Structure 1
Amino acid sequence: MTNTPLDAPTDFTPADDERPAGQWMEGYWAETVPWAKRFAFAIWAYYGWMIYQQFEIYSSDMVVYQGALMHIGILLLYSPILLLGYFCFRFAQDLERALAGQDQLLLEKAFRHLHRFLVLSLVVAALWLWSAAIGWYNTFQIMSEYNTPYENPLQSE
């Protein structure tokens, strides 16, 4: 099996010394860098929006809980999202430096950041699903306990 780039024409036959293994992937990873940075900024914008919403909810509804502990708790609750943005940005930054300087150690460091990003995103997704399941369970509990004062037409027949 030869090391054929994905963008090569169908009649491409590389010489042994023409393109070393992995070199054709550099263009792909170089295109990934700006998108990873944009994604990190989008994650941080989402973090800021969620923090803003939570502060607005707690400041308008629960005047008693406007203390510093509630603010710290909200910041800690959304800290995994902040870390997601950090790992994504560091991946892009280290990958950019590794491609510019042909540094294998920086490349390994970049992919460690990518691995941490992926693991943390799985944790955040699991926590989100757990939170959604609890919300659904609470909603079903409230709806099953609710007795309407009006006659239900299906039960009266």
Structure 2
Amino acid sequence: MVGVSGSAAAEAALRFALAEAALHEAPLDIVHVDHAPALTTPQAGVGAGDRTGSADLARTVTHAGVVERGAELPKVEVSTRLEHGGTVRRLLHAADDAATLAVGSCDGRTFPAARLSVLGRLTASAGCPLAVVPEHVGL
């Protein structure tokens, strides 16, 4: 499983996760966490709150070349999903059955302290191996 956010580091994590999934002939679950709650009121329509998060997820997946790399990696079954809520809680829940959780990281100069705490909390609580992929990794 890989958590994506639209950042360059998340794109590197996605490329890493695709390569690992191909190597192990395993499916890949791509998860984006949107902090805005999903709107499910009758006026808004079911899932109306998904528009921004879904657009971010679609842009990240397309930008990282998942569609193009799919032809190169025919063994990889890819699924995407959008979660709503706190990043750590939702990623940990989504990774319950994962063999590995991959996330992106970048250097401390450009990485806000809040995101560093997300990595620390994921490291402390993940129930599976955690791969923290720097944005400059070329795969």
State the TM bucket, normalised to the shorter chain: under 0.3
* TM-score between both structures, scaled by the size of structure 2: 0.26
Identify the structure with the greater strand proportion.
2
Asked which structure has the greater CA Rg, the reply is 1
* TM-score between both structures, scaled by the size of structure 1: 0.24
Identify the structure with the greater helix proportion.
1
Q: Which has the higher contact order (CA 8 A, sep 6+)?
A: 2
